[in-house]
Amino acid sequence: MSEKPAEIMFAQACNMAMNKAMADDDKVILLGEDIADEQGGGVFKVTAGLSAQYGTDRVRSTPISEQAIVGAAVGSALVGYRPVAEIMLMNFITVAMDQIVNHAAKLRFMSGGQTSVPLTIRTTTGAGTGLGGQHSDMLEAWLAHVPGLKVVAASNPADAYGLLYSSIMDDNPVIFIENTPTYFTKGPAPAPDHVVPLGKASIPREGTDVSLITYGRGVGASHAVAEKLASEGISCEVVDLRTIAPFDEETVLKSVAKTKAAVVVHEAVKNFGTGAEISSRIHEELFSELKAPVGRVGSGYAPVPFSPAIEKAWMFSEDDIEREIRKILG
Amino acid sequence: MSEKPAEIMFAQACNMAMNKAMADDDKVILLGEDIADEQGGGVFKVTAGLSAQYGTDRVRSTPISEQAIVGAAVGSALVGYRPVAEIMLMNFITVAMDQIVNHAAKLRFMSGGQTSVPLTIRTTTGAGTGLGGQHSDMLEAWLAHVPGLKVVAASNPADAYGLLYSSIMDDNPVIFIENTPTYFTKGPAPAPDHVVPLGKASIPREGTDVSLITYGRGVGASHAVAEKLASEGISCEVVDLRTIAPFDEETVLKSVAKTKAAVVVHEAVKNFGTGAEISSRIHEELFSELKAPVGRVGSGYAPVPFSPAIEKAWMFSEDDIEREIRKILG
Amino acid sequence: MADKDVLIDIFTRADLIMQSDIKFRKMIGAGQLQIVYYPVRGQEVVSAAMMAAVNQEDYLVTIYRGLHDQLAKGIPSKDLWAEFAGKMAGTCKGKGGPMHITHPETGVMVTTGIVGSGIPIANGLGLASQLEKDGKVTVCCFGDGASNIGAFHEGLNMAQIWKLPVIFLCQNNHYGEHTHMRDTTGSETIKQRGDGLGLRSVRVNGNDASEMYAAAKEAVEYARAGNGPTLIEAMTFRFHGHLLGDTSHYIPEEEMEQALKDDPMPILRQQLLDMQISETDIAAIEAKNAATIEEAAQFALDAPYPPGDEYRIDVLDVEIAA
Amino acid sequence: MADKDVLIDIFTRADLIMQSDIKFRKMIGAGQLQIVYYPVRGQEVVSAAMMAAVNQEDYLVTIYRGLHDQLAKGIPSKDLWAEFAGKMAGTCKGKGGPMHITHPETGVMVTTGIVGSGIPIANGLGLASQLEKDGKVTVCCFGDGASNIGAFHEGLNMAQIWKLPVIFLCQNNHYGEHTHMRDTTGSETIKQRGDGLGLRSVRVNGNDASEMYAAAKEAVEYARAGNGPTLIEAMTFRFHGHLLGDTSHYIPEEEMEQALKDDPMPILRQQLLDMQISETDIAAIEAKNAATIEEAAQFALDAPYPPGDEYRIDVLDVEIAA
Ligand SMILES: Cc1ncc(C[n+]2csc(CCOP(=O)(O)OP(=O)(O)O)c2C)c(N)n1
Ligand SMILES: Cc1ncc(C[n+]2csc(CCOP(=O)(O)OP(=O)(O)O)c2C)c(N)n1
Ligand SMILES: [Mg+2]
Ligand SMILES: [Mg+2]
C-alpha cells in the first residue's frame, strides 16, 4: 500500500481548490446553505474547514433562498469579488434560473463590457442512488445553451481541483457541476499548483477505432467499456471535455478525424441533451470522413425514477455505450 | 378585397382558441398578469373579452408572482382543471422553472400515474423589435429537454388556433410558445372546429431538393427562401414541426428520406438549440442517404442585443437559411 | 383541553407515527432498507392534531419530511411502506419514493422535495375547491426554513388576495438542515411574516395536542366559511436530525435536552391517563398500531420491485417507446 | 422642511427628469426615436430626493422605469440619451438599451427588466461594501408590484440578517402594469411586509421633497453606521401609464385627477419660491436643464450606430469567433 501514490477524494479536491483560491485571492468568498463549519461545512462537507480558516465573513451560510444566494454572488462579482455560490443540488437551480440566465450571463454584454460577473456556481447532482425525481437531474444542456455562461464538469479529483480553481479565477460566470454519487471516489492527488485551463478537453485514453466524447461521470463509464473492448481488439479513444460549453471543438474534431467514428456519452437525458450539439458539430465538420453516424448515449425519456430497478433501466450505462459502439463499428 | 378569404391575426387566433376551450369545458380557467378585461385583457390583448364572457372567477388577473401563477395552475390541474397560465414573456419562466420542471413535468410520473397535470403555459417572446436582452429569448430547448413536457409553437393563425385548443385539451403539461413580433400578422381564418393534433408536423410546401425543418417564425422565413430559390430551380420542402417536443420524427425522416438533404431552422441561439437534436436524429437514421450533413440555422452566441443593427446581425435570417442551403447543395 | 375522543384520535395517529418512525430508523440502521430518511420523531402531535381537524377528502400537500403528515392523513401503512421500499405495490409504484408520496384517496396530493414549492401548488388545490364550491380545505405543510424562500411569499400572498381555503402549517422545528432559524430569519417569528402579508396568522405550541387542535379547528372553520387562509406556526422539534445519520452536532446539548424533556408523546399519553383513559385502552391502541406497522413492514419487504421498463410509463399519458 | 440648498439640489435633479421625460415622449411621439419607453413623469421627486441623499460612489440598482433614478444619480444626459437611442456612444454601446442601463462611474450598476430581480443583486453590492468597509450604500429601486415576487422576500430577509447597507426604495405608484395594488397585495402597505421581515421600514409621501429626503437621509445614515437595511415605501404616482401608448384606461378618472393635483413638480417649485428663491434663479436652473437635454437629444440622434458584429464582443471576456 505504501507504494501507491497519494490519492484524494473528489469532494476533497473541490475543497482544496476553494482553499487555494481563497488563500491566493481575498476577493474569493463562498455563499451557500450550511457551508460554514458551525453548520457542518456543507451537507457533503465539501466546504469543511474553510470558515474556520477564512472566517464566516468570507464563508457564509445562507438562508434557503437560492435567488438571494445567486443574486448576492452576482452583485458582489460586479464590483470585484469572485464569489463561489453553492446550490446544494442541481435541481434547485430551477428557482435561481433568472439570476443565472437573465443576469449573471448577460450583464457583461448588456453593460457593453463595463461590468463583468466572475462568479462560480458550484452544484452537485447525479442519479443512481435512489434520490428520486427532484434530486438527481443533470441540467447542463440548459446552461450550455445560454450565451455568456461557461459550463464545467470534472471526471476525477485532480481535474476537479484544477478546473474549479480555474473556474473561480475565470472572469466569466461559470457553472461547475459536481457529481454526488462519485464525491467519495478517489483518484491521484494533484500537485498544489495544478491548474486545468477552461475550454480544453483532455484525452485520458488514446485509441484508433472510435472516439468516446464525454465528461464527468461518463468518462469513468467510457473507460470501463474501452477497457473491456480492448480485449477484443477494439481501440477506443476517450475524450474528456472537462468544459462542456463552450466546448473544445478542436480536440474533439481532431480525435474524430483520426478515428472516423464517435459516440457521445452523458448521464443527462439523451433527448435534446448536450450530446446532440456535439454530434451535430461532428457531422457538420467531418461528415464525409465518418464510418458511421455519431452515436449518442444518455439517460431515458423520464424523470429520474426512485426504485433501483427502474432507475437502473432508465439510466445511461456501460452496456448502452458498448451497444452504441458495436452498432456504429458494424 | 372582397374576394379575399377571411383573415385573422395570430393573437386573435389564440384568443379564439381559449374562448372555444372555455365554452367547451368549464374546467378551463385562465391565470396571468393583467389578463382580465378590467386590466385590459392582457398586455397584448390576447385574452381580451374572456373575463367579460366567463367571469373573473375563471379569468384571473394575478399578482406579479410567476411561481404562484404556475403553482396554482399545477394544483388545480391535479384535481381536474385545465388551467391556462400566461407567463407574459418567455424570459420570465426563469423564475418559475421549478414549478414547471420539478412539478408540472414530474408529478404524473412520481405519483405512479395517480395524478396528471393537464395545464398549458402560454408565453410569448421573439427578437427583432428592440426589446433587448431580457425580453426576447427563445428558450424552447430547455423545455424540450424535460421529459414529461410537450412544447408547441405555431407558425400561422389557423395552426395557433388548432394547436392551442389541442394543448389545452391535452392531458399533459404543454408549453405553448407565441411570437410577439408576429402577433399582429394575418393568415386565413380557421373553421371553428379546426383542431391540430399535437405531435404532428405539417408540410406547408412540398419540394424535392432539400427539407427545411422548422417551426414558429422559422416557417415564414423558410417559405420566403424557398420562394426565392424556386426561381433558380432549387426545390425546398418546408416541414413545420408545430410540436417541438416530442417532435414528429416520422414526418421529418420521411421528408429527408425523399430530399436527401436538410437544414434545421430556428430563431433560438444555435448552440445547444433544438436544431441539434433534430439534426442528430436525421444523421442517426439517414446517414448513408444524405447528400451532405444536415445544416443548422439559428441566432448567434450572444444575449439579444438592443441596438437594431447588432440585433439584426445576431439574429437568424433568410440570408443564413439561403447560405446554408447553398452550402449543403454544393 | 380538547375532549376525550379528540385526544384519543390524536394519540392514535401520533403513536402510529412515532412507532413507524422508530421502526424505519431501526430497519434502515439494520440495512433492511436503503433509503434517505427524514425522521419525524418529535413532530408527531403537530400533524396528528392538524389532520384530526380535517376530513379524508380534504387535501394535503407536504414535504420530504412527511411521514407524520401522510400517516396522520390516513395513507394505509402498507401502501406507504411499500413506496418507501420502492415496491410496485407502493402508493406510486415505487417511482416516487419517500420524498414524493401521492395518495389521492386520502387527499395526499403532492409531496415535494423542493423547499417551499408545495405552497403555490396548495393554492391551486384551494382554487379548485373555491371554484367547485366543494367545501374542501387544503393543508400545506412546510418547515421554518422554507419560510425564507420566494415561493412562500408569493404563495401566501396569492392565497390571501383570493381568500383561498388553504391552511399553511409551518412546522417550526427551529432548524433548516443544520442552520438555526436565528441565523436565517430576520423576523422573530414566522407568524410575523404572515401578519406582514396580511393573512390570519397564529403561533401555537404544536406539541400540545389541545392547543394545536384548537388552532387547526379554527383555521379549518375559517377556511370553510370562505374567509381565506391561515398561517399556523406550530412550534415543535425534531429529535433525530435532518436526515438519518445526521448527528445533530449543530444543536447545543441543553437545547436538545430541553426539547427531549418536552417530548410531546409522553405528555400526550399522560394527558390521556389524566382523563381517566385506562392504561389498558392506551396499550391496546399502541398494540394495534404496532401490529399494523409489523404487517406493513413485512409487506414492504416481501413485495416485488417494479420492472425496469416502468420508466417508460406515466411520463406522458401514453407509454414512451423503448 | 429640508434646507434651501438641499431643496434646490432636489429641484435641479427633478426638473431635469421631468423635462427629459417630456422630451422623450415628444420625440417618440414624433417618430424620432423608436423605443419602448416607461414614463417617469410624476415620480421625479422620489428619486431626486433619494439620490440627493447619497454620493456618486454609492451604488444604484434600478428597473426598466429607471430614467428618473439614472438621471438623479448623475449619469450624464448625453451618454444616457445615446444609449436609449441604441448608439455606440451610449453608456452600454447600444447593447443594453433603455431597460439595461449600467454606468459604473456614477454608481449605476444594474438596470433590470425582470421585476424584483435587482433586489438580490443589490445585496451583493452591499455585501461587497460590507466586506470592503468602503462605507458605500446601495440604493435599490423597484415598484409596488415587485413586492409580490419571491426575490423581494428573499432579498429583504438576507439584507436584514446580514445587516447589509442597502436601501430598498419601493416607489409605490399604486399600479403594476394595469393592475391596482389592492387586487394583488394582501397587505395594506408594503411597509407592513418589511416589518414582517424584521427590517426597519418606513412609509412616506415620496412626492414631498422634504419628507422623502429626510427618510432617505435617515436610511443612509442608518446603513452607513452598520445597522443594516431600510425599506422605504415612497408613495407616488405615474402620470403616463405603464409604457408610452398605455392610455391608463384602468385608472379611474377621479384617481388620476387627484394624482395630477398632487403633481410633485409644481409643489416643489412653489416651495422654492416660498423660500425666497427667485423666479429668475429657478428659471435659470430650468433653462440649463433644457439646454443639457437639447444637446443630449441632438447628440443621440447624430451619433452612429454600433456595427453589427459588436454582438460577438462582451459576451465572454474574449471575442467570439464569427
Ligand atoms: C429549493 C431548495 N433548496 C434547498 C434544499 C435542500 N434542503 C432540503 S431540506 C432543507 C431544510 C429545510 O428546512 P425546514 O424548512 O425548516 O424543514 P425541516 O427539514 O426542518 O422539516 C434544505 C435546505 C431543497 N430541498 N430545496
Ligand atoms: C418577473 C417578471 N414578471 C412580469 C414582468 C412584466 N412586467 C414588467 S413591469 C411590470 C409591472 C411592475 O409594476 P411595479 O413593480 O409596481 O413597477 P412600476 O412599473 O409601477 O414602476 C410587469 C408585470 C416582468 N418584467 N418580470
Ligand atoms: Mg425546520
Ligand atoms: Mg407600480
Using DSSP, state whether B112 is helix, strand or coil: coil
Asked if residues B112 and C93 have their Cβ atoms less than 8 Å apart, the reply is: yes
* Assigned domain for D226 exists: yes
Overall average pLDDT of the C172-184 stretch: 97
Rounded CA separation A142/B93 (Å): 13
Residues in chain B: 330
Average pLDDT taken over every residue of chain D: 97
Residue type, A106: K
SS3 A139: coil
> Which bound ligand lies closest to the C-alpha atom of A62?
1
B43 lines ligand 2 (CB under 6 A): no
Please check whether residue D227 lies inside any domain of the structure: yes
- Helix%, strand%, coil% for chain C, nearest 5: 50, 10, 35
Q: What is the rounded distance in angstroms from the CA atom of residue C10 to the CA atom of residue C16?
A: 10
Q: B317 and B217: one domain?
A: yes
Active site residues of B: 135
The CA distance from C301 to C86, in Å, is 10
Residue A193 lies in a domain: no
DSSP state letters, A269-299:
ESTTSHHHHHHHHHHHHHGGG-SSPPEEEEE
Which is the catalytic residue, given A135, A194, A223, A283? A135
Nearest by Cα to C97 from A184, B71, A90, B106: B106
What whole-number distance in Å separates Cα of residue D251 and Cα of residue D248?
A: 5
Same-domain check for residues B181 and B215: no
Distance CA B310, CA B302 (A): 10
A134 in a structural domain: yes
CB contact at 8 A, A140 and A177:
yes
pLDDT for the residue A3:
64
Q: How many helices (H) and strands (E) does chain A have?
A: 12, 14
D176: Cα within 13 Å, side-chain hemisphere: 27
Q: Is C144 in the pocket of ligand 1 (CB under 6 A)?
A: yes
User: Does residue C97 belong to any structural domain of this protein?
Assistant: yes
Average pLDDT over residues D110-119: 98
Question: pLDDT class for C1, splitting at 50, 70, 90?
Answer: confident
Same domain for A294 and A184, yes or no, is no
pLDDT tens by residue, A82-94: 999 999 999 999 9
Single out the residue in B188, B221, B240 at which a domain terminates. B188
In a domain, A2, yes or no: no
| Environment class of B191 (CB within 10 Å of its CB; exposed 0-12, middle 13-18, buried 19+) | exposed
**CB-ligand 2 contact for D176 (6 Å cutoff):** yes
Identify whether residues A110 and A255 lie together within a single domain: no
| Per-residue model confidence as pLDDT tens digits over D278-307 | 999 999 999 999 999 999 999 999 999 999
Cα–Cα distances in angstroms (integers) from residue B329 to residues B291, B325, D75, in the given order = 8, 6, 53
Q: Which residues of D touch B (CB under 8 A)?
A: 34-36, 86-87, 92-100, 112-116, 145-146, 148-151, 176-179, 183-185, 249-250, 305-312, 315, 320
| Domains contained in chain A, number | 2
Element (DSSP H or E) covering residue B205: strand B202-205
Let me know if residue A196 belongs to a domain: no
Residues A221 and A310 in one domain: yes
Q: C12 has which bridge partners?
A: none
Cα-based angle A237, A325, A213 (whole degrees, multiple of 5): 40
Residue from A110, A60, A103 nearest A84 by CA: A60
Within-domain flag for B197: no
pLDDT per residue, tens digit, chain B (330 aa), is 456 679 999 999 999 999 999 999 999 999 999 999 999 999 999 999 999 999 999 999 999 999 999 999 999 999 999 999 999 999 999 999 999 999 999 999 999 999 999 999 999 999 998 999 999 999 999 999 999 999 999 999 999 999 999 999 999 999 999 999 999 999 999 999 999 999 999 999 999 999 999 999 999 999 999 999 999 999 999 999 999 999 999 999 999 999 999 999 999 999 999 999 999 999 999 999 999 999 999 999 999 999 999 999 999 999 999 999 999 998
Residue D238 CA: nearest ligand 2 atom is: 20
Residues at Cβ < 5 Å from ligand 3 ion: C 143-145, 173, 175-176
Domain boundary among B135, B155, B188: B188
B126 and B171 share one domain:
yes
Domain end point (choices B131, B160, B188): B188
Radius of gyration of the CA atoms of chain D, in A: 19
- The gap between the terminal CA atoms of chain B, to the nearest Å, is 43
CATH number at residue B293: 3.40.50.920
Please answer yes or no on whether B305 and D250 come within 8 Å at the CB atom.
Answer: no
- Any idea which ligand is nearest the CA of C178? 1
CATH number reported for the structural domain that contains residue D93 in this entry: 3.40.50.970
Q: Tell me: the pLDDT tens digits for C54-98?
A: 999 999 999 999 999 999 999 999 999 999 999 999 999 999 999
Mutate-to-test residue for ligand 2 from D67, D115, D149, D172, highest number of ligand atoms within 8 A of CB: D115
Which domain covers residue A296, as residue numbers? 202-329
- Is residue A131 domain-shared with residue A212, that is, in the same domain? no
Active site residue A145: no
Residues 6 or more apart from C142 whose CB is under 8 A from it? C62, C63, C115, C116, C118, C119, C152, C168, C169, C170, C171
pLDDT of residue B2: 52
Give CA–CA dist A168/D117, Å, rounded: 24
Q: Are residues B17 and B131 in the same domain?
A: yes
Residue pair B105/B141 in contact by the 8 Å Cβ criterion = no
List Cβ neighbours of B57 (8 Å cut-off, separation of 6 or more). Answer: B29, C131
pLDDT at B1: 43
Within a domain: D303: no
User: B155 and B57 in one domain?
Assistant: yes
Strand partners, A243: A152
Q: How far is B48 from chain A (nearest CA, A)?
A: 29
Domain co-membership, B169 together with B262 = no
Confidence of residue C12 (pLDDT cuts 50, 70, 90): very high
Interface contact D125-A79, CB threshold 8 A: yes
φ, ψ dihedrals at D154, nearest 5°: -60, -40
With the C-alpha atoms ordered C296, C299, C300, C306, is the resulting torsion angle positive or negative? Answer: negative
Is residue B135 a part of any domain in this protein? yes
Show the domain range for C270: 4-287
pLDDT at res. B3: 63
Cα→Cα distances B169→B73, C26, D146, Å:
14, 48, 33
What is D134-191 written as a DSSP string?
----EEEEEETGGGGSHHHHHHHHHHHHHT--EEEEEEE-SEETTEEGGGT-SSS-SH
Distance CA A205, CA A218 (A): 13
* Residue A233 and residue A279 in one domain: yes
pLDDT band at residue A251 under the 50/70/90 scheme:
very high
D271: cell is: 416651495
Buried-state track B291-320, b at ≥16 Cβ within 10 A, e below 16: ebbbbbbbbbbbbbbbbbbbbebbbbbbeb
Cβ <8 Å between C113 and A34: no
Residue D1 has pLDDT above 90, yes or no: no
Instruction: Tell whether B52 and B102 lie within a shared domain.
Output: yes
Nearest CA to ligand 1 atom 18: C143
Half-sphere exposure for D275 (CA within 13 Å, toward CB): 19
How distant, in Å, are the alpha carbons of B10, B14, B221, D43 from that of B7?
A: 10, 14, 20, 43
Q: Are β-strands D230-235 and D166-172 bridged in parallel, bridged antiparallel, or unpaired?
A: parallel
Domain count, chain C: 1
Task: Report d(CA C108, CA C103) in Å as an integer.
Answer: 5
Length of chain A: 330
ipTM of the prediction greater than 0.95, yes or no: yes
Provide mean pLDDT across the span D18-42.
97
- Owner of C-alpha cell 470501463: A224
Give the separation between CA B66 and CA D148, rounded to whole angstroms.
10
C-alpha cell at C269: 399519553
DSSP C191: H
C113 ligand 1 Cβ < 6 A: yes
Cis-peptide, bond into residue B181, ω within 30° of zero: no
The verdict on residue D314 lying in a domain is: no
Residue contact A306–C311, C-beta within 8 A: no
> Does C304 fall in a domain?
no
CATH code (residue A75):
3.40.50.970
Residue A1 has pLDDT above 80, yes or no: no
Cross-chain Cβ contact B295/A287 below 8 Å: no
